[in-house]
Amino acid sequence: MNTNIIAIIVSEGGRIVSELIRNYRKPPQLPPSTIQLYSTPEPEPLPAIKEKYEPTEKEEATERIKQGTACIPCTNSHLHACVGLLNEASRFAKKDGISNEVIKRVDGCLGEIVAAERIDLTPENVDGLPPGEKEIANYAAMELREIRHSLEAVPNAAELDKIAARTARLQHHVSQRWFGEKLKGMDKEEKLKIIDRTLERLQKAKVDEGYEEEVL
């Protein structure tokens, strides 16, 4: 090969290599302080779930008894429910005889009585009451037992009406006696406040029902 051609090839090759070397750039290098390593964080353990303790009805009632007079007002509430249920049952019975509606309401009243007997009027709970309230509770327990037996016999309309009246009298007795016991431990000023609040509620009830008589 001609020496001139070889010289030209060598010269051009050197120029191309020099150009490639001059244009070649390395990727920028980040300083160590700027390099961040990413990794999946470990999940935090879930807090232990503490089960909320729910006291039984009997435990709640026992705690209320320790605080004083819970047995009587709870019994009074059960009696209030029974009076309403038996009044409805008696009304249905007079119209349609002993129907399913009557039985449903009688059964509801029986449930209220059983709840009072098994929780509020148990011997251990009644034993912790003050003497006056213990007397009320014992009388209520005796009457409720008789009422329950009468209802379990599935009475006719006339008998059901008598049972409803007897239950209403018992509720009135328990309520009056219990409030009387509560008032014994109050001074005159506290008693007057309770009387005033009671009269206000009675007056409001009269107005709501469309009556305008003054409550004395």
pTM of the model as a whole: 0.58
pLDDT recorded at residue 209: 47
pLDDT score for 197: 75
User: Mean pLDDT across the stretch 40-47?
Assistant: 64
pLDDT given at position 179: 83
Window from 85-94, 118-127, 174-183 with minimum mean pLDDT: 174-183
213 belongs to a structural domain: no
Residue 17 lies in a domain: no
Report pLDDT digits (tens) over 138-184: 999 999 999 999 999 877 999 999 999 999 999 999 999 988 887 77
CB of 184 closer than 8 Å to CB of 132: yes
- Burial level of 159, CB count in 10 A (0-12/13-18/19+)? middle
134 has pLDDT over 70: yes
In a domain, 20, yes or no: no
Closest CA to 72 of 26, 29, 121, 36: 121
Which CATH number fits the domain that encloses residue 202?
A: 1.20.120
Quote the pLDDT of residue 190.
79
Residue 16 resides in a domain = no
Mean pLDDT of 196-212: 62
What is the pLDDT, as a whole number, of residue 1?
53
Neighbouring residues of 157: CB distance < 8 A, sequence distance ≥ 6 = 90, 93, 94, 97, 98
Share of the chain above pLDDT 90, in %: 36
Total domains in the fold of the chain: 1
Does residue 31 fall inside a structural domain? no
Q: Would residue 44 count as lying in a domain?
A: no
Q: What is the pLDDT of residue 211?
A: 41
Q: Is the pLDDT of residue 37 over 90?
A: no
Distance between CA atoms of 79 and 74, rounded to whole angstroms?
9
User: If you ran DSSP here, which 8-state letter would residue 210 be given?
Assistant: T
- Using 50, 70 and 90 to split pLDDT, how confident is the model at 193? confident
Residues ≥6 apart with Cβ < 8 Å to 140: 72, 75, 79, 116, 121, 170, 174
Whether the CB-CB separation of 144 and 115 falls below 8 Å is answered with no
Region 60-74: mean pLDDT is 60
Domain assignment of residue 83, yes or no: yes
168 vs 199 pLDDT, higher one: 168
**What proportion of the chain, given as a percentage, has pLDDT over 70?**
60
- More confident site: 215 or 97: 97
Q: Are 167 and 86 in contact (CB under 8 A)?
A: yes
Its domain, for residue 156, covers 57-207
User: Looking at per-residue confidence, does 110 or 196 come out higher?
Assistant: 110
Query: If residue 168 lies in a helix (H) or strand (E), which one and from where to where?
Result: helix 157-184
